[in-house]
Structure 1
Amino acid sequence: MALAQIDHVGENEQMAECIDNCLEAAQACEWCADECLGDEGMEECARLCRDVADLTTLHARFMARNSNYGSQLAQVCAEACEDCADECERHDAEHCKVCADVLRDCAETCREMANA
């Protein structure tokens, strides 16, 4: 795993898990947003998913470079993941259900990083 080669990540299991969760959330959100496009009533879901995909990839990058702003971004990322998961759970589509589950895990590890 490439993350193990980064000293501050390889030594911090919590950070490595959060990076993995953030990247998985970005993938799930991109998929969900793409599936929502063109469906009436899914505009907010698509918008939130796109925001979260950007935030989670940025957060993963900040953690990888040990940014001084990591904990602040972790807090924002956790809140955005929770808001997006709430929106996804309002819909019956399978992609929304999968996305919401992934986002709940991501929000949890981002909260842990914010409080670390």
Structure 2
Amino acid sequence: MKNQNLIETLQHCAIQCTYCADACLDEDNLQKMIACIRTDRACAAVCNTTAQLLAANYKDVRGLVEYCQTLCNACADECEQHQAQHCQDCAAACRKCAEACQDYLAN
């Protein structure tokens, strides 16, 4: 499948973001986690949508991939502010996804 690596990276990122958002709900200071939860949810949605359009071989996805890269970096920035392992894992997945988006855009 064309763009298989990017699609898999997007899907992995979406799963990590969804898991992180859910795990944040169990944190002691939930108020402190609101921005993280919202950013995780947005990032997961955009990564899923981007993966679906790439899998469907839709041609005009460049703008969406650019936005996905921006959102993945924003999500990583947010998650890196928290010590929880789920946040650190999510940040790493988001950074990897942002790099994969950059590689796609460079071609």
Instruction: Flag whether TM exceeds 0.5 (same fold).
Output: yes
Matching residue of 1:113: 104
* Identity %, equivalent residues: 35
Matched, 1:68 2:56: no
Q: How many residue pairs get matched?
A: 104
Unaligned runs of 5+ in 2: none
Matching residue of 1:30: 18
RMSD (CA atoms): 1.1
After TM superposition, where is structure 1 displaced by more than 4 Å over at least 4 residues in a row? none
Matching residue of 2:9: 21
Matching residue of 1:12: none
Corresponding residue SS for 2:31: coil
**For the Cα contact (< 8 Å) 1:29–1:53, is it kept in 2?**
yes
Matching residue of 2:70: 79
Q: CA deviation at 1:76?
A: 0.4
Which has the larger displacement, 52-61 or 106-115?
106-115
TM-score under structure 2 length normalisation: 0.92
Corresponding residue SS for 1:40: helix
CA distance in 2, matches of 1:108, 1:76: 13
